[in-house]
Amino acid sequence: MAHILVVDDDLDIVDNLKMVLEAHGHQVSTKTDTDAIVESAMELNPDLIILDIIFPEDPSAGFVAARELEKNEKVKDIPVLLLSAVNQRSKMSFGFSENDISRDFMPVEGFLEKPVEPAALLAKVGELLQSE
C-alpha cells in the first residue's frame, strides 16, 4: 500500500490516524510540526501527506507548509490532504472547504474537517492516491 506522512501536533489525532491507516495496510510516518516540511517530504518520499492547519507556533502553519511544498519541484507532486478543525476553532465568519482549493491560496488536493469518520478518511485517501 501507500506511505503516508501525517503532520499534526495533536498526538491523539496522530495515533488515531496511524491506527486507522495502518489497519488498512498503509505505512505511516509522523511529524508533530511543520518545521523543515520540505526536507522531511524529500527524505521520506511519501505517497500522500495529511496535514493539519493550526499549530501552536502559528495558526496558519499548515497553509504555509502547503505553499512551501507546492513551490518545491522535488515534492510538489505529492498530494496533500488538509485535515483540520480550523472551521470550528477559528472565529472567522466563514469556513474552509474543498471549494477553496487553489494553487495560490490552498494548494492541496483535498480537505476534510476534524473529527473525521474513519470511512470518510479512507475514502478520501483512496481517492487521492488513485489520482496520482
pLDDT for 86 beyond 70: no
Name the residue ranges covered by the structural domains of the chain. 3-130
* pLDDT for 94: 43
Tell me which architecture the domain covering 3-130 has in CATH.
3-Layer(aba) Sandwich (3.40)
pLDDT tens sequence across 10-24? 999 999 999 999 999
Q: In what order do the strands lie in the sheet with 110-113?
A: 27-31, 3-7, 48-51, 80-84, 110-113
Residue 79 confidence class, pLDDT cut points 50, 70, 90: very high
* pLDDT for 37: 98
- What residues does 80 pair with on adjacent strands? 49
pLDDT tens sequence across 51-69? 999 999 998 899 999 999 9
Distance between CA atoms of residues 20 and 22, nearest Å: 6
Query: What is the pTM for the complete model shown?
Result: 0.90
